[in-house]
Amino acid sequence: MSEWLGLTGKRVLVAGAGGLGGACATAFADAGASVIAADIQARELPGVRTVAADMSTSDGCRELVDSAATKLGGLDVLVHSVGQNIRKPVLETSDEEWQSILNLNLSTVFWLGKAAGKLMCAQGYGRQVHLSSVAGLLAHPAHGPYAASKGGLNQIVRVMAREWASSGVTVNAVAPGYTETPLTEEHLAKPGVRDELTGLVPAGKLGSVSDVVGPILFLASDQASFVTGHVLYVDGGRTLV
């Protein structure tokens, strides 16, 4: 698999090392890439160098990208897997909650993507994959700031893809449907929630972390060199109904 993907020796930064991000970092390492995974606190991941990083500011994001590129000897792939959700109706969502989610889910895409894009455009090669959600397309109740952040993510991905395509840099997003991750664990444990959400998925089941990792690796690989500005829905058909 690693030979087909062409990831051997690629220099990869994964921003967000829990759940999907951690699984991606490990999968890249298994495919022969050199990987740094960053989170607010360093995590133990097999075959992966992990670092603690504060990505809540533009300076912190730039410093992370520059530091990772220095340690790796360059940067070929950026995976953005940073995010949070607060499930409240719009009328119950505070200004502080709105700003916090937009900052972490969307501003970090701009800050990290821009910093990595500068390096990638200069070297004439790069792959960026940003984690979106079906919430960026569907109007889920109690998802106001989260949905807005993912809709915005989809559009900034398209713009970065358009601007950097001629420099050999692709920028795509993967939008999971209802997936069992640490971010959704507490919500899925509430009475009736799992059955309700499963009933909305034509595939008849919730997604797993491994269901999402494969598409991310593909979009970061040489096999996807002519795919850019795309939002890939990995949702068991949820967006079809």
Residues 6 or more apart from 150 whose CB is under 8 A from it?
105, 132, 133, 135, 136, 175
Instruction: Please classify residue 85 by burial: count the beta carbons closer than 10 Å to its beta carbon, then call 0-12 exposed, 13-18 middle and 19+ buried.
Output: buried
Determine contact, residues 126/169, Cβ cutoff 8 Å.
Answer: yes
Whether 146 is catalytic is yes
- The phi, psi pair for 19, rounded to 5°, reads 55, -120
* CA–CA separation, 103 and 107 (whole Å): 5
DSSP 22-91: HHHHHHHHHTT-EEEEEESS----TT-EEEE---SSHHHHHHHHHHHHHHHTS--EEEE---------GG
- Active centre residues (catalytic): 146
